[in-house]
Structure 1
């Protein structure tokens, strides 16, 4: 997944929306689902954490989680770690999060999956399942529309735009909702204990 790192270093540098928590779907969804998230155990990973706004929020007094993030963008990780004041955002190495199996009670993945090519979506699913504890919860949102931005390869940033049922077939969610106005789905899955 190394080309993604180059793409999102550039996107982060050129698009100020990635540098503000107000534009962060993860920040918004964590606040909207605060009560549910509070009850899911203390260990949290935000997969594709970008500028780290969800990680920072989950570490705050509102959630009190031991929260970490992984991303492909070195620029976003460095910016997040500087703002948070701790090395909590790590780079994915060979598509692998630098954490042992069965580490996290909760893994979130906000506005990430649609940015991947299909083979990488499957690899990401498997990696998320690897780091989740048995009985752990996966919470994500996925955009169902094209992005307004083209990357340096001339491709839409949303490389995989698919219907909710396609995503559900891959992840086998316990529940999902679709917001037509935003053209996004929000989904939850709990692993067997």
Structure 2
């Protein structure tokens, strides 16, 4: 990928939305297996109540996160900026609730969810909005609730043309893992585990940071 400035907040979000609209079917199919998500989702299910509520931020087409959690008896709400991803998600996982919205503009009542899943999405937001979103997520979690978060590991800004064989570009903007850990601390979330994981996309050598963080049972 060629490192470039992302061209401003509004432009970045438009590129992300149009990019996922363009590659949705190529990116993931209805019957794709859970891949590296399976272990993470199994661990999440062990941490939250049976039938608990989960918010999937950047839900894509609903596969595998919403699909697998619904199959496990959980109540799932998914949000995504891409109209095409949301259209497919509603078709693939009709038992869940899906909302087409920019994650940074989503609003939910405090203490709404037993868990929030935010995988491969934070670095599609401008840097200035990423810490703010984590603060909102902390408020949306119930006391003792869990956040499963994947972030960048190294700071970079990237843009690629013809993403995944489409005519659309894609952009990324990320801080380093230490910055994301600081954002979680500022949000009042307790980081329980942090590990490095390799990108699942074919041909990618990117390494990300996976965080398990928890909303305290009681705030100070």
Q: How does 1:101-140 map to 2 (within 5 A)?
A: 101-140=110-149
For 2:103 and 2:20, the matched residues in 1 are separated by 21
Partner Cα distance (2:124, 2:214) in 1: 23
Q: Check whether the contact 2:152–2:177 (CA below 8 A) recurs between aligned residues.
A: no
TM-score, normalization: structure 1? 0.80
Deviates more, 1:139-148 or 1:108-117: 139-148
- The residue aligned with 1:192 is 216
Which residue does 1:158 correspond to in 2? 172
Report the equivalent of 1:12: 20
Partner of 1:141: 150
| Distance (whole Å) between structure 2 residues aligned to residue 14 and residue 174 of structure 1 | 37
C-alpha distance in 2 between matches for 1:91 and 1:2: 17
Q: Tell me the matched-pair count.
A: 187
Question: Per-residue displacement from partner, 1:57-108 (whole Å, max 9, x unpaired)?
Answer: 2111xx2211111112222112211222356111236834343221100100
- Larger Cα Rg: Structure 1 or Structure 2? 2
Q: Secondary structure at the match of 2:173?
A: coil
Could you say if the C-alpha distance between residues 23 and 3 of structure 1 is closer, same or farther in structure 2, counting changes exceeding 3 Å?
Answer: farther
Match of 1:36 among 26, 30, 43: 43
Q: Are 2:123 and 2:172, in contact at CA under 8 Å, matched by a contact in 1? A: yes
CA distance in 1, matches of 2:103, 2:170: 23
Residue 85 (structure 1) aligned with residue 103 (structure 2):
no
Asked whether the 8 Å contact 2:110–2:139 carries over to 1, the reply is yes
1:170 matched to 2:183? The reply is yes
Q: Give, in whole Å, the separation in 2 of the partners of 1:97 and 1:89.
A: 12
Structure 1 residue runs of 5 or longer lacking an equivalent are none
Q: 1:33 to 1:95 in 2, by over 3 A?
A: closer
Superposed CA offset, 1:29-48 (max 9, x none): 44113442123121111111
Aligned-partner SS, 2:172:
coil
CA RMSD across the alignment: 3.1
Q: Does 1 or 2 have the higher relative contact order (CA < 8 Å, sep 6+)?
A: 2
Superposed CA deviations along residues 110-146 of structure 1, whole A, max 9, x for unmatched, are: 0011111111102211221121111110011124366
Q: Structure 2 unaligned segments of length 5 or more: list them.
A: 1-8, 163-167, 186-190, 199-204
Structure-2-length-normalised TM-score: 0.71
Question: Which residue does the alignment assign to 2:3?
Answer: none
